[in-house]
Amino acid sequence: MRPIAIAAGGTGGHLYPAIATAAALAERGERVVLLTDRRTAERSAAAFGPAEIHVIRGEGIAGRGLARAPRAFAALALGAIEARGILERLSPAAIVAFGGYASVAPVLASRALARRDRPRVVLHEQNAVLGRANRLLARFADLLALSFAETVGVPARTRTALIGTPIRPEIAELAGRAYVAPAAGEPVRLLVLGGSQGARVFADLIPSALTLLPHALRERLVLTMQCRAEDVGRTEDHLGRLGLAFRLAPFFDDVARLYAEAHLVVCRAGASTVAELACAGRPAILVPFPHATDDHQRANAHALVAAGAAEAFAQSALTPTLLAEHLTALLADPARLQAMAEAARRLARPQAARDLAEAVLALAPAETH
């Protein structure tokens, strides 16, 4: 059996969809191999289950500056040579690449193989703006799988399919569950997530904004907040003075349950986050990461705002006072929260991992898998 190769690495936005897709392929009896960078192999190999792990060299180029760019290009070139050797040995039927620098070398290396041995190439784009790696690689792709119908930057004549972003199975299972807005006098559960890297801005904003909430609302509030380890102490001190129930942690391993319990989510607008919000059917206040490449988080947020599922604010414009005003208004309007939750749910694609796996297998030669 020729394997299916997954090319992925870097942040959770690239890794979570790759992990979910690898699991969907393995469930179909496919042999899955992962081509990735050393850091991802060391930190996340276990998440790919029985997949074979192959480490290749590579570094990101965006944001490196002129002094470090030559080193990054050299690493990518060496990675392409290493990837070609691995692909020649494995002879995969297809490569599924998830963007970022870790996908570049394997896809380029596949073009150096003899035509009869070349694997089919499927690119997956998680964001509403086509990433730079996928822009570079699109000309070599047999299929570009999209998460947003109106993805910006897709080259003309590229074969595309609207698939959605594969997400963790435990969150996909939340799709279709009812949202119940908080009734008068009941606890109000606020969930604050900062993405895979955390978000210091929320440690700065959230405690100050909650101080400005009406006393009656603050008394009902139950806060669960992702907080960088270096910010936990000061945030605990501030929240402790407010007398509300709270839980802080740099990482939550029960995030599906937290989504299911939340009445409102304050978070970034990374691809996995917005896909999870849709599957969970939860209203949100989005604060896009302002330094995201090509400002793609702003585009992701716009898609949810346009659908009526979220409010969004530029980080530079969001003050504790403004955040407090919108928290107060939303949490006092159960009908609005309900409508936002239903709008989010209409965007959900809980079967994205399965659909992407099936699209890959449909392209791969039938006799090879």
Predicted local distance difference test score (pLDDT) of residue 74: 84
pTM of the model: 0.92
Tens of pLDDT, residue by residue over 271-327, are 999 999 999 999 999 999 999 989 999 999 999 999 999 999 999 999 999 999 999
Q: Which residues pair with 97 in a beta bridge?
A: 7, 123
Residues of the chain with pLDDT below 50 are none
Predicted local distance difference test score (pLDDT) of residue 290: 94
Predicted local distance difference test score (pLDDT) of residue 267: 97
Q: Which residues pair with 129 in a beta bridge?
A: 152
Q: Which two tokens stand for residue 328?
A: 């107060």
- C-alpha angle with apex 294: 291 to 300, nearest 5 degrees? 90
Predicted local distance difference test score (pLDDT) of residue 365: 77
Nearest CA to 298 out of 277, 259, 271 is that of: 271
Q: What are the DSSP calls for 95-106, one per residue?
A: EEE-SSHHHHHH
Question: Is the separation of the CB atoms in 34 and 82 below 8 Å?
Answer: no
Q: Which two tokens stand for residue 280?
A: 């969970």
* Alpha helices, H only, 112-163: 132-137
Q: Rounded to whole angstroms, how far apart are CA atoms 45 and 51?
A: 8
Predicted local distance difference test score (pLDDT) of residue 369: 55
Tens of pLDDT, residue by residue over 121-161, are 999 999 999 999 999 999 999 999 999 999 999 999 999 99
Predicted local distance difference test score (pLDDT) of residue 367: 57
Nearest CA to 47 out of 6, 92, 84, 80 is that of: 6
Predicted local distance difference test score (pLDDT) of residue 13: 84
